Amino acid sequence: MASYDFVCNECGNQYEVYVQGFLKDKDKKCPKCGSTAVRQKFSSFLRNFGSCSPSGGSGFG
Ligand SMILES: [Zn+2]
């Protein structure tokens, strides 16, 4: 199961959708106002690049 973050363009509602398999258009519908005019937010884990160091952490050099 995967989760996706969405923001509704109509009412500004931010919500998370859990889907099994592929994300379908009907899964994107805003639960608050029912609009399909939503946009997907990118997951925050994409911003974690660079925080993992290859060494075991024996000082910062
Ligand atoms: Zn909405």
Q: What is the pLDDT of residue 25?
A: 85
Residue 45 CA to ligand 1 centre (angstroms): 25
Residue 47 CA to ligand 1 centre (angstroms): 27
- The full length of the chain comes to 61
Q: How far apart are the first and last CA of the chain?
A: 41
Residue range 4-59, pLDDT digits in tens: 999 999 999 999 999 888 888 888 999 999 999 999 997 655 555 555 556 666 66
Cα→Cα distances 11→1, 7, 14, 34, Å: 27, 9, 9, 10
The whole-angstrom separation of Cα 56 and Cα 20 is 36
